[in-house]
Amino acid sequence: MICFPNAKINLGLQIKKKRSDNYHDIETVFYPLELSDILEVTPFPGKEGDCRYSNTGITIESEPGDNLCIRAWNEIAGIREMPGTSIHLHKLIPPGAGMGGGSSDAAFTLMALNDLFNLGISMRDLEKMAGRIGSDCPFFIRNRPVLATGRGEILEPAEVDLAGIDIMVMHPGIPVGSGWAYANVRIGDHPFSVAEIISRDFVEWQDSLKNDFEPLVFSNYPVVRHIKERMLSMGAFYSSMTGSGSAVFGLFDQEPDTGHMKKCFPGMFLWTGKL
């Protein structure tokens, strides 16, 4: 079975408070992108209860026990007797970018295993499993625009439609660890909720729809701020860092000039598409 775990962007990201369990309450909109990894899940006979994992494409710096695809397999193996399974991931979404690539890989692994082996696990239970792997993993089970609150696991449909909008995403090759970002972020002042702001016309977003991680990441990695500024100068009606960084996206009314961005920021990951 082959599937395509996709990336996401955050429209706004407000840090509401730090919780007693050391997580943070947030408010954001998760919006899916077509940019995706390639995941192949296949059975191999005679190896009951064994999972083999391999990876091509972008190198993933993690210990085997921390690999999110393997963690997804272990989640299901904890409640089902699993046949031998081979998982191969071709990685195209940059890690440490704030685009949820690892979480998506885990969620799609859960769904692929469920379908491939006819396990009959409900969408709701898959979401619960995904939530034990990562805060934004449950989003990728249903994979539609949602308003996310709590630590990112409380999801409700988002009243926002960007269909047909051109998007540009650039990642400077700087992986930002979410643990470091959350440990150092300052809780912002939020006169309006994300839910209220996204209900406004797109042209109002730039001045009000903020990502609270931007000041921290911009001060430590100025190139991230420069990418955002360049996208705005090119005509993006909205540009923001996504997640805890360090990828930046811009939304445009017409197809943006990729050649200009490549010239300004040579060698950096660049992707364009439509929402």
Q: Would you state the structure tokens that stand for residue 152, as one six-digit string?
A: 């990112």
- Catalytic-residue membership of 210: no
Q: Which is catalytic among the residues 37, 136, 210, 228? A: 136
Q: Which is catalytic among the residues 8, 91, 210, 228? A: 8
| CATH 3.30.230.10 domain range(s) in the chain | 2-156
Instruction: Residue 229: name the closest of 239, 219, 244 by CA.
Output: 239
List of the chain residues with pLDDT < 50: none
Q: What is the model's pLDDT at position 65?
A: 67
Give the pTM.
0.95
CB atoms within 10 A of CB 61: 9
Architecture of the 159-274 domain: 2-Layer Sandwich (3.30)
Q: Which residue intervals of 79-221 are DSSP H helices? A: 101-116, 123-133, 139-142, 178-184, 194-198, 205-208, 214-220
- pLDDT tens, 181-215? 999 999 878 999 999 999 999 989 999 999 999 99
Q: 61 in helix, strand or coil?
A: coil
Q: What is the model's pLDDT at position 130?
A: 97
Q: What is the model's pLDDT at position 49?
A: 84
Burial code of 89-116, b = ≥16 C-beta within 10 A, e = fewer?
bbbbbbbbbbbbbbbbbbbbbbbbbbee
| CATH 3.30.70.890 domain range(s) in the chain | 159-274
- pLDDT tens, 26-53? 999 999 999 999 999 999 877 788 999 9
Q: What is the model's pLDDT at position 22?
A: 86
User: Which residues, listed in sequence order, are joined to residue 272 by a DSSP beta bridge?
Assistant: 168
- Catalytic-residue membership of 262: no
Pairwise CA distance, residues 108 & 103, whole Å = 9
180-37-53 Cα angle (round to 5): 85
Q: What is the model's pLDDT at position 157?
A: 96
Pairwise CA distance, residues 8 & 104, whole Å = 9
- Looking at the domain 2-156, which fold is it? Ribosomal Protein S5; domain 2 (3.30.230)
Q: What is the model's pLDDT at position 186?
A: 92
DSSP 8-state secondary structure symbol assigned to residue 246? S
Q: What is the model's pLDDT at position 252?
A: 98
Q: Would you state the structure tokens that stand for residue 89, as one six-digit string?
A: 């991931």
DSSP 8-state secondary structure symbol assigned to residue 151? T
